[in-house]
């Protein structure tokens, strides 16, 4: 890890490959589902990447990695709970008024059109085409975590635009 | 050697991306160095206070209770600063028992402030006029130390950003409380509670809210 902090790519690749079983072992306590476990494992790698400057070489690596895995798991579970609450909240979808056909783009289309390209693609793949995060990430050549972030930002921008 | 599972191709894609994105990073300073810097900040604030000490400080210095209060505040400032700085490293985040201990000490400190006798001869106008200056004084003394600690914490990876925010602002505000005890000549319980302790409590809660929003951003970067 010390070499990783100096920018050694080979050491980083070896480390990331070596710690996969360790991360899975740590996360298994919270995620029984294989897909969720894999997702959490990838998120943990992203968290490690963002926090790599905080590793202190005088302290045990496993403990540091365990703290990051715990943080990632807690974050994912929190987000899952929030999503579940929202899903319950919109179980009974109210009838929406149909916009008059004026020939021009609807407010929603305008809001989607105003998004940055990466966010728009992520949103359309997940919300319009109905792809899973994994499928959408593979199609756009990015990670599941990054794609989720893009889709979430797109959703927030659209929500803000529609609220105006 | 990595084990091969149905998800290993996803891992490989992620690993490729992370390795491609790898840049050298500057490690956080050792905790002892950061804590040393915090003590220097404390000394700096107290040095500023030395130019505006309360006129009756010499007579108060002999009172055991007053001395104990000052020592307790100084120790609390160091401890809170240490907890805030520790929280920059994910594996050194203050344990639940340490957080509970800090909360208990805070309650005891408030009880101690409340036990000061309240002056009965002060009109409401006087109470507000003299008191609001102390509240501003507390904020003034706290601004630099709180900002420095928050920036130091933000450079790390706090996994409990609200707790880190509360410790960082709490440390700066308790330091400001200590400075104000050396500056303000009032020992009136109501004055201390409303104009000295309340800004510390409100500021610490505000720090927790701010921490939740600002100090947790590191884990949401794309």
pLDDT of B167: 94
CB spacing of A64 vs B21 below 8 angstroms: no
Specify whether the backbone of B117 is left (phi greater than 0), alpha (psi in -120 to 50) or beta.
Answer: beta
Q: Which of B14, B19, B88 sits opposite A12 (nearest CB)?
A: B19
Q: What is the pLDDT of residues B84-131, one digit of tens each?
A: 999 999 999 888 898 888 888 888 887 787 777 766 677 888 889 889
- Report d(CA B117, CA B132) in Å as an integer: 20
User: Nearest C-alpha of chain A: how many angstroms from B92?
Assistant: 8
- B30 CB neighbours in chain A (<8 A) are 56
CB spacing of A50 vs B219 below 8 angstroms: yes
Chain A residues 105-164 with a CB less than 8 Å from chain B:
134, 138, 142-144, 146, 149-150
CB spacing of B157 vs A5 below 8 angstroms: no
What confidence category does residue B55 fall into, taking pLDDT thresholds of 50, 70 and 90?
A: confident
Q: Which residue of B has its CA nearest to A62?
A: B91
pLDDT at B41 over 50: yes
DSSP conformational letter for A57:
T
The more confident residue out of B169 and A126 is B169
- Report d(CA B136, CA B142) in Å as an integer: 10
The more confident residue out of B216 and B222 is B216
Q: What is the pLDDT of residues A4-30, one digit of tens each?
A: 898 888 899 999 989 988 998 999 888
The answer, for A49 touching chain B at a CB cutoff of 8 Å, is yes
CA angle, corner B213, sides to B211 and B215, nearest 5? Answer: 50
Q: Residue A139, SS3?
A: helix
pLDDT of B108: 83
Q: Between A and B, how many residue pairs show a Cβ–Cβ distance under 8 A?
A: 108
pLDDT at B51 over 50: yes
Query: Strand (E) positions, chain A?
Result: none
Q: What is the pLDDT of residues A63-75, one digit of tens each?
A: 999 999 999 999 8
Contact indicator for A30, A40 with CB cutoff of 8 Å: yes
- Report d(CA B201, CA B189) in Å as an integer: 16
The more confident residue out of B119 and B18 is B18
pLDDT at B40 over 90: yes
Helix axis angle for A9-18 and B8-20, nearest 10°, is 150
Least confident stretch, A92-106, A135-149, B16-30, B191-205: A92-106
Q: Which residues of chain A have pLDDT under 70?
A: 87-105
Residue A4, exposed/middle/buried by CB under 10 A (0-12, 13-18, 19+)?
buried
CB spacing of A146 vs B222 below 8 angstroms: yes
- B22 CB neighbours in chain A (<8 A) are 4, 7, 9, 12, 49
CB spacing of A4 vs B22 below 8 angstroms: yes
Q: Residue B117, SS3?
A: coil
Q: Which residue of A has its CA nearest to B217?
A: A50
B20-27 average pLDDT score: 89
pLDDT at B168 over 80: yes
User: Nearest C-alpha of chain A: how many angstroms from B124?
Assistant: 46
Q: Which of B10, B89, B219 sits opposite A47 (nearest CB)?
A: B219
Interface residues of chain B, partner chain A, Cβ below 8 Å = 1-3, 5-8, 10-11, 13-15, 17-19, 21-28, 30, 88-91, 93, 156-157, 159, 218-222
Tokens 């500023």 sit at which residue? B48
pLDDT at B222 over 70: no
pLDDT of A161: 81
pLDDT of A87: 65
DSSP letter string over B27-84? Answer: PPPPHHHHHHHHHHHHHHHHHHHHTT--TTHHHHTT-HHHHHHHHHHHHHHHHHHHHH
Q: Where are the alpha helices (DSSP H) in A19-143?
A: 20-27, 34-50, 61-89, 107-113, 117-123, 133-140
pLDDT of B4: 44
Please give the radius of gyration of chain A, using alpha carbons only, rounded to the nearest integer. 20
Q: What is the pLDDT of residues B135-150, one digit of tens each?
A: 999 999 999 999 999 9
What confidence category does residue B152 fall into, taking pLDDT thresholds of 50, 70 and 90?
A: very high
Note the Cα B207 to chain centre separation in Å.
Answer: 8
User: Nearest C-alpha of chain A: how many angstroms from B142?
Assistant: 27
Q: Cα(first)–Cα(last) distance of chain B, in Å? A: 28
pLDDT at B69 over 90: no
CB spacing of A38 vs B156 below 8 angstroms: no
CB-facing half-sphere around the CA of B192: CA atoms within 13 A: 26
pLDDT of B35: 95
Please give the radius of gyration of chain B, using alpha carbons only, rounded to the nearest integer. 22
pLDDT of A94: 56
- B96 CB neighbours in chain A (<8 A) are none
């Amino acid at each position: 890890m010390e070499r990783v902090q100096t920018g050694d790519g080979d050491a980083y690749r070896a480390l990331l490959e070596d710690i996969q079983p360790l991360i899975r072992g740590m996360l298994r306590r919270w995620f029984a589902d294989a897909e969720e476990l894999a997702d959490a494992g990838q998120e943990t790698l992203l968290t490690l990447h963002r926090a790599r400057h905080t590793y202190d070489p005088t302290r045990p690596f496993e403990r540091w990695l365990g703290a990051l895995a715990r943080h990632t798991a807690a974050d994912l579970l929190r987000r899952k709970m929030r999503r579940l609450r929202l899903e319950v909240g919109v179980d009974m979808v109210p009838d929406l008024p149909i916009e008059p056909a004026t020939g021009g783009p609807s407010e929603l289309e305008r809001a989607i059109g105003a998004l940055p390209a990466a966010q728009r693609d992520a949103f359309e793949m997940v919300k319009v085409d109905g792809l899973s995060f994994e499928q959408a990430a593979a199609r756009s050549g990015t990670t599941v975590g990054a794609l989720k972030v893009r889709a979430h930002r797109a959703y927030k921008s659209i929500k803000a635009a529609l609220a105006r | 050697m990595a084990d091969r599972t149905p998800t290993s191709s996803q891992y490989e894609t992620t690993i490729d991306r992370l390795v491609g994105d790898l840049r050298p990073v500057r490690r956080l300073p050792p905790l002892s160095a950061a804590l040393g810097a915090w003590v220097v900040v404390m000394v700096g604030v107290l040095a500023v206070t030395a130019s505006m000490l309360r006129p009756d400080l010499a007579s108060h210095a002999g009172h055991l209770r007053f001395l104990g209060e000052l020592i307790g505040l100084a120790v609390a400032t160091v401890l809170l600063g240490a907890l805030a700085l520790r929280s920059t490293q994910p594996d050194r985040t203050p344990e639940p028992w340490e957080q509970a201990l800090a909360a208990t000490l805070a309650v005891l400190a408030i009880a101690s402030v409340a036990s000061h006798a309240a002056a009965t001869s002060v009109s409401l106008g006087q109470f507000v006029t003299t008191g609001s200056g102390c509240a501003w004084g507390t904020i003034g003394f706290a601004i630099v130390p709180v900002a420095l600690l928050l920036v130091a914490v933000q450079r790390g990876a706090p996994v409990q950003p609200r707790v880190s925010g509360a410790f960082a602002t709490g440390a700066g505000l308790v330091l400001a409380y200590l400075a104000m005890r050396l500056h303000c000549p009032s020992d009136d319980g109501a004055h201390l509670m409303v104009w000295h302790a309340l800004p510390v409590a409100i500021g610490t809660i505000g720090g927790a809210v701010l921490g939740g929003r600002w100090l947790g951003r590191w884990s949401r970067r794309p």
